[in-house]
Amino acid sequence: MRIAHISDIHCNYGNDFNSKVFDNAVKLLNKTDSDLVFISGDLTTWGLLSEYRLAKEKIKKINGKIAIVPGNHDERNLGYKLFPEFFGDPSFIHMYKNLSFVGLPSSEPDKDDGRLGRRRHRLIEKGIKKCKNLTIVGFHHHLIPVPNSGREKNIIEDAGETLDIILKNEIPLVLMGHRHVPYGVKIHKTLLVNAGTFSCTRTRAHFGHTFNIIDIDNENITVTVVNITNNKQKKMIKFNLENRHHKNRYYTPNIRIE
């Protein structure tokens, strides 16, 4: 199974959104022939109706199955009322082939902070029950600090409780966004992966615009970061599902991601 993990599109009529980059990124994305495209939030900048319409129009260009959760920006200005209208239920458990995918909204109206809460924790547990071997959890905010993304803020308020559920159940993969840079790290037996920004003008240093390709077979999860500007792909992490050992090349000097 191949999942394309994209994040932080930030459709906007001001200067937050780069439409050219988006169109170019979609061309690359559609060539990846992914079984699922997961969008981890911030489809808009202000949660406005005009931005939701633009996001809907732009996302139509993406081929194949798509699963979407909202970000903090999408819940601004009553945007949380528009999200279900445009993109369906913000909480879901979808079954794909041999895995269950739990998508959760980690945002609250007009707040930048993240929070899941007990109701959504129960949904994670429900997803695990549906598929003991392979459950993937995706939401917008980060669960742990992300390097190269500035001073720490907006981390999920109940990160401790959330991590506890994820780690004790040995969930293999968690997908997140929000920080506009790609990153991946293993904690206990879980791989935590962030996607960078797909088309927001607010990039960080040389990280630019990126998305992740996540290949899952019976043995491994492989995370590849695609640089949208130069179409270069870098294998960031290989994670063995059997013994949960991994090779993380994020810190290998000659193949640094940025």
How far apart are the C-alpha atoms of 123 and 143, rounded to whole Å? 17
Helix (H) or strand (E) holding 159: helix 159-168
CB of 140 to Fe ion, least distance (A): 6
Q: Which residues, at least 6 apart from 40, have a Cβ–Cβ distance to it below 8 Å?
A: 5, 6, 7, 8, 69, 71, 138, 139, 140, 175, 176, 177, 178, 195
| Smallest distance from Fe ion to CB 9, Å | 9
Count of chain residues binding Fe ion (CB under 5 A): 5
The stretch among 49-57, 71-79, 226-234, 237-245 that binds Fe ion (CB under 5 A) is: 71-79
Q: Which is nearer to Fe ion, 139 or 239 (CB)?
A: 139
Diameter over CA atoms, the chain: 48
Among 5, 8, 75, 250, the residue binding Fe ion under the rule CB under 5 A is 8
Toward Fe ion, which CB reaches closer, 4 or 128?
Answer: 4
Number of H helices, E strands in the chain: 5, 13
Beta carbon of residue 58, minimum distance to Fe ion (angstroms, whole number): 15
Q: Please give the order of strands across the beta sheet that includes 92-96.
A: 92-96, 99-103, 135-138, 173-176, 190-194, 183-187
Q: How far apart are CA 233 and CA 44, in angstroms?
A: 26
Q: Could you tell me the smallest distance in angstroms from the CB atom of residue 139 to Fe ion?
A: 11
The distance of closest approach from Cβ of residue 73 to Fe ion in the complex, given in angstroms and rounded to an integer, is 6
CB of 177 to Fe ion, least distance (A): 7
Q: Which residues contact 230 (CB under 8 A, 6 or more apart)?
A: none
Q: Applying CB under 5 A, which part among 7-15, 77-85, 209-217, 240-248 lies near Fe ion?
A: 7-15
Show the binding pattern over residues 173-212: x = contacts Fe ion (CB under 5 A), - = does not: -----x----------------------------------
Q: Report the alpha-carbon distance of residue 178 to residue 163 in Å, rounded.
A: 18
Does residue 71 belong to the site contacting Fe ion (CB under 5 A)?
yes
State which amino acid sits at residue 40. Answer: S
Q: Interaction with Fe ion in 136-155: which residues (CB under 5 A)?
A: none
Q: Which stretch binds Fe ion (CB under 5 A): 1-9, 92-100, 145-153, 246-254?
A: 1-9
Is 72 a binding residue for Fe ion by CB under 5 A? The answer is yes
What residues line the site for Fe ion (CB under 5 A)? 8, 42, 71-72, 178
